[in-house]
Amino acid sequence: MTETSPQQTSVKKILPLILATAIFMQMLDSTILNTSLPSIAKDLHESPLNMQNAIISYVLTLAVFMPASGFLADRFGTKKVFIFSLVLFSLGSLFCSMSQNLTHLVISRVIQGVGGSLMTPVGKLALIKTFDKSELLKAMNFAIIPALIGPVLGPLVGGYMVDYLSWHWIFLINIPIGILGIILGLKYMPDYKSADVDFDLKGFLIFAAASLLLSISLELFGDMQNISPVLFVFILGFLFLYYYYKHAKRGGNPIFPLDLFQVRTFRVGIVGNLATRLGISSVPLLLPLMIQIAYKQSAVTSGWIIAPMALTAIFGKSSVIKILDKYGYRQTLMVNTFIIGTLICLLAIPDIHTNLYWFVPIIAILGFFNSIQFTSMNTISIADLRNFQTSSGNSLISVNQQLAIGFGIAFGLIVLKLFENSDLIEGEIHNAFRYTFLTVGILTIISGFVFRRLHISDGKNMKSKEE
């Protein structure tokens, strides 16, 4: 393989910065919207509780197109695909800022999502191919620092921009960062290609159709007047999943080989990720909505209350190895899931007259345990995969993670709408949020039993692989 840049030293210095730029944009964009939704909803004449499409459309687009990123990089070159992804993401951001209604915003978020689905995976691929194994960890650690900073800045930057400028700026902020990435990419991004390009296009299309149909069924469930179309779309989604199963069983080179699911730790990790994120993923959206809708507070206030979740997650990441070494994956994941579920339930305790800052310690502790949860689930999922399974396994974990986030947000808002329309809340929207936190918290606690399928000794071979 050859690279286009003649200055190997310069490339090695700048390439982690290029990837860091892409990750920062993506992480900032994923979190900045949560505190801004009520303001965008008001401007677009929508209910804030109907704005979930703006988040879910982006997350699901990531999930659908991520599996194609490796093939496109091999076929067209890392440089071309990476720069194309930055251009798409920046254009999507510009279109988002110009949106006149929710439909425009959703379409623009899909364009952003296509760019985002290629941006980070292709950047990582270029990094892996450029650096020796001995240098890779240091380069990757530098590149992922923005992944830790982005979620801290996102709610705060979003809050200040909405309150002091306008919501349009939460998207426009991506454009100068994107232009910087494009300029650096044109000069320093190596252009790796592969002569041996084999992509399961049919499997990709079937799996994408299944993901989209299952997601649409959740959307329809949130606004349903009639159960029939919801059931039809839901069943159709499962039929496509079964069709993919039959397709992969025939052999060849399926995009997600079925032998991955014969690995017990991978199976438990995938199911556990999906189950526990149903509750966890809805909290960063529901809490800012509650603070702004029920408590009538500003976007800045909701940003400051949410920010500690990302700060303590950094401490959780640095503690996870010691915890896993002492207690093992089975005990850590079961107990940790119960703790997270209990903390979500605690968000339901304060009534409308309680001081708002009561939420801060709960959110801060939740961020710490969330970090342990995500790191543990992701590492146990790849613990027993063989070398030839690692690439497809890693890809499926990423896709599963994005689908779980999308399903979790949709699920949380469906529960909220059901309570909003029930007699239980006695006309108080705040009570609808309280019952929703209680419901998703209890379901998160129950999801912890998925990890009983792990053995006490599972994951011991991961000690050398963890960061």
* Res 248: pLDDT: 84
CB 338 within 8 A of CB 459: no
CB neighbours of residue 360 within 10 Å: 16
Average pLDDT over residues 396-411: 81
> What's the half-sphere exposure (Cβ side, CA atoms, 13 Å) at 16?
17
> Which of the four pLDDT bands, split at 50, 70 and 90, describes residue 464?
very low
* Res 328: pLDDT: 83
In this predicted structure, the answer to whether residue 143 has a pLDDT above a threshold of 80 is: no
* Res 201: pLDDT: 81
Helices (H), 281-386: 283-293, 299-346, 359-382
* Res 445: pLDDT: 92
> Which of the four pLDDT bands, split at 50, 70 and 90, describes residue 466?
very low
Distance of alpha carbon 289 from alpha carbon 436, whole angstroms: 12
For residue 41, give both structure tokens: 């909803």
* Res 218: pLDDT: 72
Secondary structure letter of residue 16 according to DSSP = H
In terms of pTM, does the model score above 0.85?
no
Distance of alpha carbon 80 from alpha carbon 75, whole angstroms: 10
CB 294 within 8 A of CB 352: yes
* Res 440: pLDDT: 92
The share of the chain scoring above pLDDT 70, in percent, equals 86
**Short-list 113, 119, 53, 52, CA closest to 83:** 119
* Res 324: pLDDT: 81
**Which CATH number among 1.20.1250.20, 1.25.40.20, 2.130.10.10, 2.40.40.20 corresponds to the domain 8-192?**
1.20.1250.20
* Res 337: pLDDT: 93
Residue environment code for 109-134, b if the CB has 16+ CB neighbours within 10 A, otherwise e: bbbbbbbbbbbbbbbbbbbeebbeee
Span 415-442, pLDDT tens digits: 888 888 777 776 678 888 888 999 999 9
Span 17-37, pLDDT tens digits: 777 788 777 777 777 777 777
CATH class name, domain 256-467: mainly alpha
Span 90-125, pLDDT tens digits: 999 999 888 888 888 888 988 998 998 888 888 877
CB 253 within 8 A of CB 200: yes
What is the CA 179 to chain-centroid distance, rounded? 24
> Which of the four pLDDT bands, split at 50, 70 and 90, describes residue 89?
very high
In this predicted structure, the answer to whether residue 331 has a pLDDT above a threshold of 90 is: no
In this predicted structure, the answer to whether residue 270 has a pLDDT above a threshold of 80 is: yes
In this predicted structure, the answer to whether residue 465 has a pLDDT above a threshold of 70 is: no
